[in-house]
Structure 1
Amino acid sequence: MSSLKPKVATTASGRTVLAAAAADVVLILAFAAIGRDAHHREEPILGVLLTAWPFLAGAAAGWILARVWRGPLSVRRAGIPVWLGSLVGGMLLRTLTGQTVVLPFVIVATLALALFLVGYRLMLAGAVRLRRR
């Protein structure tokens, strides 16, 4: 006989949530810094922040919409929503603020943000699986 207990939403530890949020911010800033460096842009600190803010805002929307704090290291529940939020939200905000949005940039951003935001979560999931063996 199956139990009819309702599922209780669990939340990760505050430390884990904070670490995942910090990692997402640092990786999005790294994405912006790498892109700016590749194009030899001026104003390294302010420029990186100006490039990164739409993606950071999109990632924050992904965190909120997907309630990422419940499983911030999950690839499916956190990595994919944060990646898509940063990408779609970032491109929309760039468009709305008159920043460049061209197909090659969208392709590079899609791949780089996936590698960064989903990639570290995949690596952690793999490490956890290895430790369990």
Structure 2
Amino acid sequence: MFAASVRIRMFQKRLRITHKLNYEFVAGGRIWWFRFVMDSQWKWRIKFGLAPPSLPACPKASFRIEDDGEPGRKSLHLTDTKFVETVVPDVPYYDMIYSGVAGKAANCLQWSLGDWVMHENPVHVDRDGALHVTMEMICKNW
């Protein structure tokens, strides 16, 4: 079990320029990543997964996009309710190497963020343009 907190300065400006943001960190003996990306249907998503050479994990994750304490602003919670898939690093043939893992092997798990990401003065971005994200994870042994 772990939690990783990130403050992303100039969040919207960075997304408007690059259309993606990537973050990596080490926790629980694995290298994890999470990304803000635009998918092929022009929807913003937050994704997470494992970087090589990490071993597979069966995670139950939640992302909390925090408010900044101003009236009218709310935290956004994105949560998995079950351990449904085993996440494996996005490396060729990893899914075949770990074909006996619990559930279905996946390179990443994701949630849709909607279109608030690019709205003017979104409720989840503070007055300095920063986004505060906390990723909480519980991993089940497989």
Q: Give the TM-score range, shorter chain.
A: under 0.3
Bigger-Rg structure (1/2): 1
Instruction: Indicate the structure whose relative CO is greater, using CA pairs within 8 Å and at least 6 residues apart.
Output: 2
Q: TM-score, normalised by structure 2?
A: 0.25
Q: Which of the pair is proportionally richer in strand? A: 2
Q: Which of the pair is proportionally richer in helix? A: 1
